Amino acid sequence: MKIQRLLFFAAVFCALLGYVVLVDSPLTKKPKTASQQLVRVFSFPESAITGVEIHKGTVQVKLTRHGKLWEMSIPSRATLHPDQADSLLSSIAGLIKIDVVGEGTSELGQYGLNNPGMSLTLRFEGAAPVTLLVGSNCPTGVSMYGMLQGTKEVLQIGTLLRFSIDNLLDMYARPASR
């Protein structure tokens, strides 16, 4: 009787081992592909940008590239620190389209895009400018809504762009509070 029980458990063990080796083995599993590729909002490199205009509330800032340096001409003339300019440009050029939350919608008010609190116009040499309208934060607060002017696609984008712009405005465009 003990040999029959031993043979039974040996058969069960071999069956389970065969299942693990043939079906559940990491070698037989297909690698998972990213369900969603990271897609940038803008398809150009940051080196292609020759000018940036930022409108946030009543504050307007105009930046122009002169060689490797960036100069602010509005509200006052100043040369941006290279690290500050690089940070802003990388957050613009690296802006990721997290999701498309509305397409062809006329209900832009729910995204804060009827009268956007911020807009960003990018200028290029020999090309038409591109304007990104930035609306309100998403309910999670981790992302915000945006829309390229002239399109009907409402995007969910990261808040790093707003942080970079606020940082620039705090350093160069807003009066110091006392």
**Residue 123: domain span:** 39-173
The pLDDT, as a whole number, for residue 22 is: 74
- For residue 120, the model assigns a pLDDT of 94
Q: Which residues pair with 145 in a beta bridge?
A: 156
H or E segment to which residue 92 belongs: helix 82-93
Same domain, 20 and 87: no
118 in any annotated domain: yes
pLDDT of residue 144: 93
In this structure, the answer to whether residues 56 and 117 fall within a common structural domain is yes
**In a shared domain, residues 51 and 101:** yes
- Do residues 73 and 160 share a domain? yes
Q: 58 and 144 share a domain?
A: yes
The reply to whether 178 falls in a domain is no
Q: For tokens 């990388």, what's the residue?
A: 90
User: Domains in the chain: how many in total?
Assistant: 2
Same-domain check for residues 57 and 116:
yes
Q: What is the pLDDT of residue 118?
A: 93
In a domain, 145, yes or no: yes
Helix or strand run (H / E) with residue 129 = strand 127-137
pLDDT in tens, 137-160: 988 888 999 999 989 899 999 888
pTM here? Answer: 0.73
**In this predicted structure, what is the pLDDT of residue 178?**
43
- What average pLDDT does range 93-114 have in this prediction? 86
Whether residue 11 is predicted with pLDDT greater than 60 in this model: the reply is: yes
Q: Could you tell me if 6 and 82 lie in one domain?
A: no
Q: What is the mean pLDDT of residues 129-143?
A: 90
Tens digits of per-residue pLDDT, 14-73? Answer: 888 777 777 765 655 555 555 557 788 888 888 899 999 999 988 899 999 988 889 988
Q: Would the pLDDT of 115 be above 80?
A: yes
Count other C-beta atoms under 10 Å from residue 120's C-beta: 24
Please tell me whether residues 50 and 83 are part of one structural domain: yes
Together in a domain, 16 and 83: no
Whether residues 161 and 118 share a domain: the answer is yes
One domain for residues 7 and 54: no
